[in-house]
């Protein structure tokens, strides 16, 4: 588009510059992509097809791309709404990306991102629909675990986008009523770094001061009421649990329906947490079957062993998944004699990992499982595996590795487990297309 009189030239665009741009497609991370005289801008608080005035928030002359906020909407998308939260907007809370977007349109944007990542990184064309998580109709009051930052004056609030600066708030509209009902936002937290509020399925909400020792954090009870599993789980208030109250049951049912485990089968549950998928698999395969669960966190493993005590055909292995499989870590470790840093050498696989498996569940962190772990899993020859992903780019990268190794993506479901944010959860099921391993 033509440059407005008095606006900076492309070479002069730096933090604080304002220009008018036409918003392009949605990008992974909650931005839209825009261009100004060939310069790429990642713009928050805009929608595809809009014309907006943006203020550059990060970047300097010569940078490959700039970050910007839409500070004025000149031509609005029909999907734009008034943000329900007064703290959502340019320069304000960094927690929500899509408060200015109709909820149904948010899901369409997320579907576009998942499809684009699969096409770009796995060269796979896929129609994607993002489903609401049961119990959510308006996108607000769903978050049952919320960490609030604390400023030097002892006020709790949220961090501003890409900043350590704190924004004091009176309410968080995506936090559940039970979270904000603790009055944590009105209390004086002088001397604390942050406070974590957990509203579990059973019992009162708890507040944990941070930093804290997870070993002494309270244990809370969470319920999973799924078609394939109905039971309680104990989990540390500082441990991992899905923050949307309907998410755990939704993901369990998607995994079990996709894998269709049969009595007597052997299953692996990798990045297993406190045993939700392991318990559902154990129930499906029965006592003639076997479930090996791998989890690195010692507190989660201790709780999981209690959670699965009634199904002794579940065995928990404590350790990092890559270490347990004996594949080389992509990280670096310190401690060489000369004080330098080196890559660890190859490890021996744990004797707890069987030579073959019928089914595998992978629920890795945001970075994904990675090429080495995918290769080790494929070597077991599972007939099918379910991949639970909180990052579409990581899912797409690992999908490419699986396609190269003779697996096909036979099912993909995406869920809006984090309304008002750009995050989306996917459950992908892969089945073996090549010959069986001996």
Enzyme catalytic residues: 390
H-type alpha helices, 224-370: 247-259, 276-285, 298-307, 321-325
- Cβ–Cβ < 8 Å for 293, 275: yes
Residue 73 CA to residue 321 CA, distance in Å, equals 47
CA 28 to chain centre: 13
DSSP letter assigned to residue 36: E
What the block records as the tokens of 206 is 């708890």
Around Cβ 124, how many Cβ atoms within 10 Å? 17
- Cβ–Cβ < 8 Å for 236, 208: no
Which of these, 45, 55, 47, 43, lies nearest to 17 by C-alpha position?
A: 55
> For residue 193, what are the contacts with CB-CB under 8 A and spacing of at least 6?
149, 150, 210, 211
- Cβ–Cβ < 8 Å for 252, 239: no
CA dihedral 55, 59, 61, 64 (to 10 degrees): -110
Pairing relationship of beta strands 65-75 and 341-342 according to DSSP bridges: unpaired
DSSP letter assigned to residue 365: -
Going from the C-alpha of 68 to that of each of 36, 53, 74, the distances in angstroms are 12, 10, 16
Rg (CA), the chain: 23
Residue 346 CA to residue 92 CA, distance in Å, equals 46
Q: Biggest alpha carbon distance in the chain?
A: 76
């Amino acid at each position: 588009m033509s440059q407005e009189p008095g606006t900076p030239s492309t070479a002069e665009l730096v933090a604080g510059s304002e220009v008018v741009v036409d918003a392009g497609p949605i990008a992974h991370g909650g931005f839209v992509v825009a261009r100004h005289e060939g310069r790429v801008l990642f713009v928050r608080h805009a929608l595809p097809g809009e014309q907006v005035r943006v203020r550059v928030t990060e970047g300097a002359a010569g940078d490959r791309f700039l970050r910007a906020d839409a500070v004025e909407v000149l031509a609005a998308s029909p999907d734009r709404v008034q943000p329900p939260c007064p703290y959502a907007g340019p320069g304000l809370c960094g927690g929500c990306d899509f408060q200015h977007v109709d909820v149904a349109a948010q899901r369409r944007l997320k579907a576009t991102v998942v499809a684009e990542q699969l096409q770009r990184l796995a060269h796979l064309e896929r129609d994607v629909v993002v489903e609401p998580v049961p119990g959510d109709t308006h996108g607000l009051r769903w978050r049952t675990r919320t960490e609030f930052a604390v400023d030097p004056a002892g006020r709790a609030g949220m961090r501003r986008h890409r900043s350590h600066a704190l924004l004091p708030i009176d309410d968080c509209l995506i936090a559940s009523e039970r979270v904000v009902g603790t009055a944590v936002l009105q209390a004086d937290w002088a001397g604390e770094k942050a406070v974590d509020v957990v509203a579990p399925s059973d019992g009162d909400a708890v507040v944990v001061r941070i930093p804290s020792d997870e070993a002494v954090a309270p244990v809370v009870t969470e319920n999973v009421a799924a078609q394939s599993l109905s039971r309680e789980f104990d989990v540390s208030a500082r441990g991992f649990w899905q923050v949307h109250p309907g998410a755990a049951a939704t993901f369990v049912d998607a995994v079990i329906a996709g894998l269709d485990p049969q009595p007597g089968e052997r299953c692996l549950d990798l990045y297993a947490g406190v045993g939700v998928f392991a318990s559902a698999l154990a129930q499906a395969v029965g006592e003639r079957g076997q479930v090996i669960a791998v989890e690195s966190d010692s507190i989660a493993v201790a709780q999981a062993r209690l959670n699965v005590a009634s199904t002794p055909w579940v065995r928990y292995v404590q350790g990092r998944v890559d270490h347990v499989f004996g594949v080389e870590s992509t990280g670096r470790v310190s401690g060489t004699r000369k004080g330098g840093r080196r890559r660890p050498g190859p490890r021996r696989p744990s004797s707890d990992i069987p030579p073959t498996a019928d089914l595998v569940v992978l629920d890795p962190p945001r970075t994904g499982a990675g090429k080495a772990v995918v290769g080790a899993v494929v070597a077991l020859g599972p007939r099918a595996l379910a991949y639970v992903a909180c990052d579409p780019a990581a899912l797409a990268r690992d999908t490419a590795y699986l396609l190269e190794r003779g697996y096909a993506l036979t099912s993909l479901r995406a869920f809006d487990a984090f309304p008002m944010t750009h995050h989306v959860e996917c459950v992908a099921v892969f089945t073996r297309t090549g010959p069986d391993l001996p």
